[in-house]
Structure 1
Amino acid sequence: MNYNRKDYSDDDLLHLYRGILLPRMIEERMLILLRQGRISKWFSGIGQEAISVGATLALDPDEYILPLHRNLGIFTCRNVPLNKLFAQFQGKTTGFTKGRDRSFHFGSQEHHVVGMISHLGPQLAVADGIALADLLEKKRKVTLVFSGDGGASEGDFHEALNVAAVWNLPVIFMIENNGYGLSTPNSEQFKFNYFIDKGPAYGIDTLQIDGNNVLEVYDTIRQTAASMRKNPRPILIEAMTFRMRGHEEASGTKYVPQELFEKWSKKDPVENYERYLLDEKVLTARLLAATRDEFKVSIEQGLEAAFATPMPMADIAEELADVYAPYQQIVEEPKSEQQSEKRYVDAITAGLRQSLEKYPELVIMGQDIAEYGGVFKVTEGLVDQFGKDRIRNTPLCESAIVGIGLGLSIKGKKAVIEMQFADFVTCAFNQIVNNLAKSHYRWGQNADVVIRMPTGAGTAAGPFHSQSNEAWFFHTPGLKIVYPSNPYDAKGLLNAAIADPNPVLYFEHKLLYRSISAIIPDDYYAEEIGKAKLVTEGSDFSIITYGMGVHWATQLMQTIPEVKADILDLRTLLPWDQEAVQATVQKTGRVLIVHEDTLTGGVGAEISAWISENCFQYLDSPVVRVGSLDTPVPFSPPLEQLFLPIQRLRQKVEQLLQY
């Protein structure tokens, strides 16, 4: 192996040696513990240590790194305390995730490391968001994110590289090419020769390095990062390497030809570098032994402390409390009494504008939202006032943009993301339910992201532009869901959602944009998330609904003036107002739940079940539900009208009143 020390001092070379030796010694100890049954799982990085170590030591300590399974050297080179690291591996409370996640599935702001989730690809976009924050703050920093050759087949890889190229984000995309995705060889994963071939297609520079040569990795990253700090842009680096053990220990290595092990064992990154330093008289046998003894003591002390820590004491209150970032909302009243008439769409625009003024760290992203103003013109005019740094057109890449939102949040910023249609959120589903929603529960990092969701049918837009998909997210702990039915709430709840440090899905019904108006305050105000509101009051029965259902219910009750009903607008679906629901059920004893979403598995099913379980003694009749047909949303207006619950609403009311 060719080591070119250039002008690096002996101390520099020894620093690299200490960096690469410690993770190897930890790995060797972990394999023994695994065989003894003292740890449950291990993803070995033996053979690949040079990449993690060289890259980490080449960066500034406050530059973020996003690692994967086989990057132990990142954590050790960032001086993560071994007792805490080992406690993390064992699922102990003193780890980084309080026992809620394993191995490197965590982050640490103190060490500027953001760990992986099992889906691998989404972290690439998170790196984009961190780099974007640095760019917006004019900080000369780079972000480094890892991908394996297998994970690079995911769509997240393309989206993250494409956005980084378009926005000139200072991200180093480090591809560890070890020849296999678990057991699948590269020949069955892709047809190109090397990942550096991909660079020109994205318009970015690429480099290929010997991933087993720690000095080459260090020097390359050091020079690359220095160049990127002066001239921000993404660079893809392909590190050629090989893992000497299985994907994880239980998977074995029978699928790998023996000759590959023989070839790559000669390129062992630790043994070769150690031999080079001994030959160069930089390292002596005495210093080598002393270093190993030092590390052995540190490892054993760390293990002893971790093993001595008891397993977590499961506590319901603590588990539930950590799902969301702590936040005591302040309901803000407008400072002036000035009011004006605004349509639903104008109220949302006003909320965005005033939140942008209130929070200089707020960035809005979405397709066609800048000069064009979005397909529904909600963001029209904002770019003129706040500029394209904060009102950002994006490529068609919903997953990457949501990941970028999390990256911005890691750097203390806020993000509002517009889905062009709520239907398109499927392309970002993984980022929302596995990254945003679980981030605080897993490692205490809030996701300060609002996703605006133009939703609903009634415009003859067919099955891919009309869905009511709030129930997809209603089941996911860690998210909040807001669904205003009128201009006053549209502005007040949007402001509240942006103020909230947790991820919020904000549904806005397309049919309401320009069909309803109201006199609302001109000044900034924020309503309370999680509180329902009585639209009308009556004692005959209760209608519990939200969104367009509020208007359907109101219009129906105007046609039967002899009957008086409570119409409860939930306004927030997660968390929903159980106290208000119980109050109206207790008052009337009869309940009709209305929503535009398809009936089966909708939000109404959960509320109905909750009422049956908690308010049964107040009921004078079964809880009745009405929703859309259990079909996709049809295109033709007559079919769409049949699909929607409007025609069945009166029948359900009559059925309810018969009890």
Structure 2
Amino acid sequence: MNFDRKQLTNEQLLDLYKKLIKPRLIEEKMLILIRQGKVSKWFSGIGQEAISVGLTAVLDKDEYILPMHRNLGVFTGRNIPLYRLFSQWQGKADGFTKGRDRSFHFGTQEYNIIGMISHLGPQLGVADGIALANKLKKNGKITAVFTGEGATSEGDFHEALNVASVWELPVLFVVENNGYGLSTPTNEQYRCENIADKGVGYGMESHIIDGNNILEVYNKLSDLVASMRENPRPVLLEFKTFRMRGHEEASGTKYVPQELMDMWAVKDPVTNFKEYLTAEGVLTEEYDKELRASIKKEIDTDYKKASAAPAIEADLNEELNDVYKPYTFEEVNPKGDEDNVRMIDALSQGLKQSMERHDNLVIMGQDIAEYGGAFKMTDGFVAAYGKERVRNTPICESAIVSAGMGLSINGYKAVIEMQFGDFVSTGFNPIVNYLAKVHYRWQENADVVVRMPCGAGVQAGPFHSQTNEAWFTKTPGLKVVYPAFPYDAKGLMATAINDPNPVMFFEHKALYRSMYQDVPKDYYTLPFGKAALLREGDDVTVISFGAGVHWALEALDKNPTIKADVLDLRTLQPLDTEAIFTSVRKTGKVIILQEDSLFGGVASDISAMIMEECFEQLDAPVKRVGSLESAIPFTKALEDQYLPKQRFETTLQELIAY
């Protein structure tokens, strides 16, 4: 192995050596603890330490790094106290996740480290969002994100590289090519010669670096980072290295040919650098022993401290309260003149006024800039707020949702438009596995609103007509908003953007231009979790949301003898259960109308809650009405049959007659 110290002083060389052996010595301790049964799982980075150590040494402490589970050198390089790392690995209170997640599945704003999730790919898009925030701040900062050669097959990898290239984001994409994704060798993962070659397709600079040579890593990255600060751009780095242990300790390495293990053992980054420093007269055997003894003492002391800490005791209130970041609703009452406007106009006003109120708000989506979006919701926004804050995106929902998370991490708010709510399926993973869980896991919030143009009734067929709110009401950590009127839509949009938690905001397309209402011109907010009682009556409680509210009102207008409480839920998470139970206890009968197909929908859960809480006050079975158990058809006759509008009126009449 050829080392070139260039202009590095002896002190710098010894500092790199110290940073290199510290994670190695910690890992050796962890392997002993595993054999003793004191640690349940460990993902070893032995043989790959030079990459984490060299990169972390090059970056400023306030520059974000997004590591994976073999990047212990990032955490030690940022000088996280070892007892906190041991506490994290043991699920103790001094860790970073309150015992809710393991190993390196955590982040910490204190050390500007954003941890991984097991789905791997989304963190690449998160790095894009962090880098975008840095670019908007014009602070010259770099973001570095790690991944393995296996994850380069994921769609998120390609989406994130494409977005970074198109937007010229200062991101270092660090691929540790260690030969195997668990047991699958690289020749079964991709056919190009080098992963770095993939950068060509994205117009991105790329480099191949010897990941076992600490000086090559450090020197090349030093030059690259300096260049990127002068000329912000993404760079793809492929580090050739090898994993000397199993994917995790239990999996072993029997699938690896022995000659390959022997070849890479000779290239050990720690042993080779030690021999080089000794030959250069920089490191003596005596100092090496003292250094190792000092680090081992720190490891043993901090391990004992973590082990002596009491086990976490379950606290039900704390568990539930940490699902969302605490937020105190900011009530702004409507005032001044009103305009009779359409739903789409009210939503557009809410977005505009929020853009004026929050100068850190960024809107992203396909065709939302000059074109104004598929429904012209953001028409004129670019002229008013500029292309930096109103951003056209490539067709890559997953990376853009992840980028919204990155913006939030770095101090921004994000509104993401799904061109159609149906298309959220390609961004589903980061919503339900990142945005929804991030505050519960390590107290980071996701200040992201995902706009969902949804619903049938406009003959758009199976891929542009779904109302898929139940996908998200099932997922703890998300808030779900679904207005039926322009007034509510504007006020709830303002609140959604103010709220620091992730919000899925459903907007029914059939209401965009058909529903008018008097709406205040000025900015105002409306609270989540408060249903609107639109009509009052003693015969029956009608519960609905979105377009279903209007279908229910129409049916009641056709049946004037039926006196009903009509509840427009407005938000589905949080849900106004108090309003529901109060009305049902008064009327004794209830019918729930949803546009989604019936099985597994919101109506089912509301029905179950009513049966549990109001059973003794019921005078009839709870009725649910929804769409057919099929995809949404295109032709009007088929779509009319699919939707529950006509079936609702019949079921309502049957319930009244029960």
Q: TM-score range by the shorter chain?
A: over 0.9
Residue number in structure 1 paired with 2:226? 226
Q: 2:566 is matched by which residue type in structure 1?
A: I
CA distance in 1, matches of 2:277, 2:211: 18
Q: What displacement does 1:598 show? A: 0.4
- 5 Å-filtered alignment, 1:246-645, equals 246-334=246-334, 336-645=335-644
CA distance in 2, matches of 1:229, 1:145: 17
Q: What displacement does 1:82 show? A: 0.5
Q: 1:651 is matched by which residue type in structure 2?
A: T
Residue number in structure 2 paired with 1:21? 21
Where 2:436 maps in the other structure, the secondary structure is: helix
Q: What displacement does 1:76 show? A: 0.2
CA distance in 2, matches of 1:320, 1:422: 29
CA distance in 2, matches of 1:197, 1:40: 38
Residue number in structure 1 paired with 2:145? 145
TM-score if structure 1 supplies the norm length? Answer: 0.99
Q: What displacement does 1:69 show? A: 1.1
Where 1:642 maps in the other structure, the secondary structure is: helix
CA distance in 1, matches of 2:91, 2:234: 36
CA distance in 1, matches of 2:135, 2:491: 31
Q: What displacement does 1:636 show? A: 1.0
CA distance in 2, matches of 1:404, 1:626: 38
Q: Give per-residue Cα distances to partners, 1:4-41, cap 9 Å, x unaligned.
A: 00010001101100110000000000000000000100
Aligned length: 658
Identity %: 60
CA distance in 1, matches of 2:534, 2:301: 64
- 5 Å-filtered alignment, 1:52-201, equals 52-201=52-201
Q: Give per-residue Cα distances to partners, 1:294-317, cap 9 Å, x unaligned.
A: 101110111101111122110111
CA distance in 2, matches of 1:101, 1:117: 10
Q: 1:116 is matched by which residue type in structure 2?
A: M
Q: What displacement does 1:370 show? A: 0.3
Unaligned runs of 5+ in 1: none
Cα RMSD after superposing both structures = 0.6
Q: Give per-residue Cα distances to partners, 1:57-102, cap 9 Å, x unaligned.
A: 0111111000011000000000011001111011112210000000
Q: 1:89 is matched by which residue type in structure 2?
A: W
Where 2:374 maps in the other structure, the secondary structure is: coil
Q: 1:572 is matched by which residue type in structure 2?
A: T
CA distance in 2, matches of 1:412, 1:63: 14
Where 1:107 maps in the other structure, the secondary structure is: coil
- Bigger shift: 194-203 or 159-168? 194-203
CA distance in 2, matches of 1:448, 1:99: 24
Unaligned runs of 5+ in 2: none
CA distance in 2, matches of 1:453, 1:237: 36
CA distance in 2, matches of 1:208, 1:183: 23
CA distance in 2, matches of 1:546, 1:97: 36
CA distance in 2, matches of 1:460, 1:97: 47
Q: What displacement does 1:150 show? A: 0.3
Q: What displacement does 1:564 show? A: 0.7
Q: Give per-residue Cα distances to partners, 1:151-197, cap 9 Å, x unaligned.
A: 11000000000000000000000010011111000000000000111
Q: What displacement does 1:286 show? A: 1.4
Q: 1:400 is matched by which residue type in structure 2?
A: A
**Counterpart check, 1:47 vs 2:51:** no
Q: Give per-residue Cα distances to partners, 1:342-375, cap 9 Å, x unaligned.
A: 1000000000000000000000000000000000
CA distance in 2, matches of 1:3, 1:404: 38
Q: What displacement does 1:279 show? A: 0.7
CA distance in 2, matches of 1:440, 1:307: 26
CA distance in 1, matches of 2:636, 2:169: 46
Where 1:625 maps in the other structure, the secondary structure is: strand
Which 4+ stretches in 1 moved above 3 angstroms?
A: none
Q: Give per-residue Cα distances to partners, 1:503-541, cap 9 Å, x unaligned.
A: 000000000000011111000000001110101111100
Q: 2:492 is matched by which residue type in structure 1?
A: L
